[in-house]
Chain A
Amino acid sequence: MSETRENLRALTFTQAVNEALRQEMERDGTVFIMGEDVAGGAGRADFEDAWGGPFRLTKGLIGEFGPDRVRDTPISEAGFIGAGVGAAATGMRPIVDLMFVGFFGVCGDQIMNNAAKMHYMFGGKVGVPLTIMTSIGAGTNSAAQHSETLYSIFAHFPGLKCVCPSGPYSAKGLHIAAIRDDDPVIVFNHALLMGRRGANVERDDVYGLHVPEDPYVLPIGKSLVAREGADVTLIGTGYTTLVCCEAAAQLAEQGYSAEVVDLLSISPLDEETILESVMKTRKVVIVDEDYPRCSVASDLSALVAEEAFDYLDAPPKRVTAPHTPVPYSQPLEALYLPNRERVVSAALSVLA
C-alpha cells in the first residue's frame, strides 16, 4: 500500500524496535525480555525503568508488562543467555539482550554449543525459539571491546539465524520475524543506526521514513534491493547499506548507475538476490564493517566467484575494516570504518 506524506509515520530505529517488542509481547504471552538493565533500577519501585535498556530499546515496557516479563538480570551473560536457551526449549519465546556483541566471549558456549545445536543434536525434537538482540559497530569512540561487528562468527554456526536491519522499517520487521521464528535468531543492531530515522524522505517503502503501525514481518533469509542500478552492484549490511547508498548517489553524479543490495539476512543467505544482481551488473563491491578474514565479505566474494564467475567483468572487490582491533582515537577510527569515498573508489576501479 502506498502511503501519502500526510500519514507518514517517521520513527527512529530505536522506536521501531521498541514498538516491535511491545506488539509481540501483547500478541503472545510467552514472549518475555531478559538482560542487563532492560528496565534498570530493578526492585526499586520509585526508580523503575531507570534505563529501559542500554540503548533504550526496551524503554517503557516494564510499565506495561511488569518485572516478570521485562526481567533485569545481574551482569551474568552465560547465566541469563543460557537461561534463555532453557526457557525457549520449554515453551517460552525469550528475547535476551547481549549489550555489546563483543561480550559473546563470556557466553559463547551457550550460544554456540546449546542454542545453535540443540535442535539438530536432539533429532529435531526440541526447538529453541530464542531471540538474541545485540549491538554492533564502530564509530562511537568506544574502542576495541565495544565496537565490534562479529556477525560472521555467528553465521559460521549452522543452526543460528543472523539478521542485520539497516533502518527503522527493517528493524521492526526483522525483530518481529525473529521473535516469531522457531529457530534461534540473533539480531545485530548497529549503534550508529539506533538513534536515526529512515534514510529517504521521498520513498514510501523499506528505505523511506515511514514505519507502519500494524505489525509486519520481513522474511528472514531474504535480501532486498535498496536501489536499482545497472553498472555495478554494491552489497551492504546494516550500516554499510547506508554507506553504499551514499556511494551510489555520488557515482550517479559521475554517470554510473549503481545497484545497492541490502543483505538484511546474513544467515541464511539469499544467494538468489545477490547472484541475480551481480549477473546483471557484472561487477560487485562488497562493503562490510567486520574484520576481513573469514568474514561475511569473504563468503560473499566466494559465492560470486564460484557461482557467477562467467558473468563477471572484474574480480569481486571488498571494502572492509582492516584486520586490526577497533582503535579508540577518532582519526584512527575514521580510518578504520568503510566510508563513501572508499566505496566509490572501489566501484570506480571495477568500472574502469
Chain B
Amino acid sequence: MISAPAGGGATGVRWTVIDGWTLTRRALAHWARRPGEMVAGLLFPVMVVVMMGYLFGGQMDVPGGGDYREFIMPGMFAMTMVFGIEATFAAVAGDAAKGVTDRFRSMPMAPSAVVVGRAAADLLYSVAGLAVMVVCGLAMGWRWHDGVPAALAAFGLLLLLRFALVWPGIYLALLAKGPESLVAVQILVWPVVFLSSALVAPGTMPGWLGAVAEWNPMSATVTACRDLFGDPTVTGTSWAAGHGLLMALAWPLAITAVFLPLSVRRYRDRGR
C-alpha cells in the first residue's frame, strides 16, 4: 500500500514502536499460554548438542588439537540461531493462512509493526535459547577463555545472524502456499548446519564441498565466535575462512539488506 498521508493516523516511528510492542507481547503471551511448546523448542538444540558431543564426540579429533566438545559449542550456538528461522516461518505462515495477516492489513495500525513485532519476539526467544545453550555448554566443559567483552561480542554476532534470518523467514512464509511448507524449510536448514564448520573441519571434506562450507554464512559466525571465545578452531584455506569476523558481520548485513525490503514489500503487496 502507498504510504499514508500526513495526519492520516498510524504512520511514523512512534506507532511502529507501539504497535510492534503490542505484537511482541502477543508472542510473549503465546509462550505463557503454551509453556510446553516453548520449553520443547528451547531443549531441542540441547538434545542435539548432547548427541553430538557424547555420541560422536569420542571418535572426533579436532584437526588443530583441543577438546571436541569445546570445538562444537560455538557451532551449536550458531545452529540454535539458524533453527530459529523455522519459528519465524511457522508464526508468519500461520497468521497468513488464518487471515490474521489480512486483518492486520485492514486495520489502521502501522504496517511495519507486523514485521518489527515479529523480529523483536524472535530475538527475545533466541536470547532465551542462547542462554539455555550456554548453561548446557558450561555443564559440558565449554568455557570462554578471552574475557567477558570478547564473549559478549560473540553472543552479539550470534544474535546478529538470528536477526538476519528473520527476514528470509518472513519472506519465505509469505511466499509459501501455507504453513505445511514448514517441512521444506526444516529440511533445508539441516544442510546449512552440516555443510559448515560447526561440527567438522571443512578441510576434511572433498575440496569443493569444503569451499562451500567455508563460505557458508553460518561458518563465518562460528569461526568468529571460536576466535572471540578462544575455543579450539580450524584454519581454512579460503579467503572467507581467513576473514571470519569480517564475514560474520558482512553476511548477516547482506542477508538483511536483501530480504528486509523483500519481506516488507511482500507483506504490503499481499494478494495484489
B is a partner of A: no
Residues of chain B having any CB pair with chain A under 8 Å: none
